[in-house]
């Protein structure tokens, strides 16, 4: 991902989430040196993933596929691509937060071996105006090989 991708990335973000990140947040991720990748086909961005890495722990901050392209394998492909990148950088575990109501994402992560390790109460804003908990998932990158090939 480069700053040239940000209009496309922000457009996908706005279409995919009820509480999207602003373009400024993506800019900050690029500036911070996070691992920011787009998945593209025919020069069109189809999705993106962002991971921060510190002390051998990777944190998946965003993984998003264009709603028109969801369910075609892009999400799994990008996730496995990110595993490969952070492993080379000596990450031993990957963490993420997800809304329990987000069935496609929960299915994707559990299908790749992530284990539910905790809950952050009231982590997300909810459409109702209240808050929704986040499930925290973790994956050991040293033992993940058996779950799905990378």
Ligand X SMILES: CC(C)(COP(=O)(O)OP(=O)(O)OC[C@H]1O[C@@H](n2cnc3c(N)ncnc32)[C@H](O)[C@@H]1OP(=O)(O)O)[C@@H](O)C(=O)NCCC(=O)NCCS
Residues that are catalytic? 97, 109
* Residue 83 buriedness (CB in 10 A; 0-12 / 13-18 / 19+): buried
Beta bridge partners of 51: 35, 60
The size of the chain, in residues, is: 150
Stretch that binds ligand X, among 20-28, 81-89, 99-107, 114-122 (CB under 6 A): 99-107
- Beta pairing class for 93-98 and 131-140: antiparallel
Answer for which of 9, 45, 65, 94 binds ligand X (CB under 6 A) is: 65
Least distance (Å) from ligand X to the CB of residue 132?
12
Q: Is 44 in the site for ligand X (CB under 6 A)?
A: no
Name the residues that contact ligand X, by CB under 6 A. 16-17, 63-65, 70-76, 98, 102-105, 107-108, 111
């Amino acid at each position: 991902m480069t700053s040239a991708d940000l209009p496309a990335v922000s457009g996908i973000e706005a279409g995919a989430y009820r509480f999207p990140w602003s373009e400024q947040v993506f800019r900050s991720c690029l500036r911070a040196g996070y691992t920011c990748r787009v998945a593209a086909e025919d020069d069109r961005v189809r999705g993106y993933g962002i991971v921060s890495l510190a002390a051998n722990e990777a944190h998946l901050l965003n993984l998003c596929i264009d709603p028109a392209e969801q369910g075609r394998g892009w999400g799994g492909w990008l996730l496995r691509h990110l595993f490969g990148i952070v492993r080379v950088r000596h990450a031993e575990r990957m963490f993420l937060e997800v809304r329990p109501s987000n069935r496609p994402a929960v299915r994707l992560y559990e299908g790749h071996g992530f284990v539910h390790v905790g809950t952050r109460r009231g982590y997300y804003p909810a459409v109702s105006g209240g808050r929704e908990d986040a499930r925290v998932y973790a994956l050991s990158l040293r033992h993940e090989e058996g779950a799905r090939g990378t």
